[in-house]
Amino acid sequence: MGDEAQILSGTVVAQEIREKLAAQVIALKEKHPDFTPGLTIVQVGNREDSNVYIRAKIKAATDIGIRASQLKLPASISEQELLEKIRDLNNDPTVHGIIVQMPLDSEHNIDGAIALNAVASAKDVDGLHIENSGKVARGILNDCFIPCTPNGCLELIKKSGIKIEGARAVVLGRSKIVGSPMHDLLVWNNATVTTCHSRTRDLPDEVRKGDIVVVAIGKPQMVKGDWIKKGAVVIDCGINAIPDSTKKSGQRLVGDVDFEEVKKVASYITPVPGGVGPLTVAMLMNNTVLAATRCITKSA
């Protein structure tokens, strides 16, 4: 039992971050009594999974003193109308952060990238605008918004106490939201980084080289114990529902890592749920408070 990996709890770290942000918001309001950080979440259509995520974000924002609202638009909205709504929010001085909830539940197959890039880069608290993505790729990390999931992963890696500088890191997955920016963050924190994907040859051999392994591939329990170097830190970004007849719902949530196998080899591992997920929302709140603070600094 003593040889098993220590659990990196995203729930605990997220709580620490939220408490710090709540104190920052109180300090902002004391200095500027008429000021409240504002966040608006734009939703097209009515996907139930999106509704769940939006409720969680609004609750987290409200808890730390951010004024959060949801702009719910019909699935029938045209691309032009959506872009006009986003433009209005860009021009609204009471809104400091804007999220376009993905995927868009649109009858017109609106391109999500067009909607994301319509958000002013200074209000893009998801960190998905092409300008923010470019800055992360170039290491200009103090003048951009870092995407929330990779930023949360970085916090968990730091909590493990492993020295990132000089470490070998392996990222499984190259999505624009997680894998690619995770690679960039690790590079600019001086790790030597390999990004693996569906075309990588000898995948287990590549993963086995990692002192730090971040997995974001969307395949349940794909990474096995014999893929992992003894003592590695393993961060699992996956969240997949698999059948489980012992559960009332008939299914349970698992990551992209086979937790039971990998915990016997790794030094630290994130659970699913309760690992990366809570950090993603906490980092979104962090970006919103940062956007509001920059707004005040700019107008001062």
Q: Which residue, chain included where needed, has tokens 């391109």?
A: 111
Instruction: Tell me which of 57, 123, 135, 229 is the catalytic residue.
Output: 57
- The SS3 assignment for 68 reads strand
Verify whether residue 247 is a known catalytic residue.
no
Q: How far apart are CA 214 and CA 216, in angstroms?
A: 7
Which tokens sit at 75? Answer: 């699935």
Radius of gyration of the CA atoms of the chain, in A: 20
Q: Residues 114, 79: contact at Cβ < 8 Å?
A: yes
Q: Residues 232, 263: contact at Cβ < 8 Å?
A: no
Interacting residues of 84 by C-beta distance below 8 A, sequence separation 6+: none
Q: Residues 119, 90: contact at Cβ < 8 Å?
A: yes
Helix axes 148-160, 179-188, angle to 10 degrees: 50
Q: Residues 296, 32: contact at Cβ < 8 Å?
A: yes
Q: Which residue, chain included where needed, has tokens 């470490």?
A: 167
Convert 166-194 into a string of H (helix), E (strand) and C (coil). CCEEEEECCCCCCHHHHHHHHHHCCCEEE
Which tokens sit at 135? Answer: 């800055």
Cα separations in angstroms, 164 against 158, 191, 202, 265: 8, 6, 25, 19
Listed residue (50, 44, 98, 101) closest to 73, CA to CA: 44
Catalytic positions, written as ranges: 57
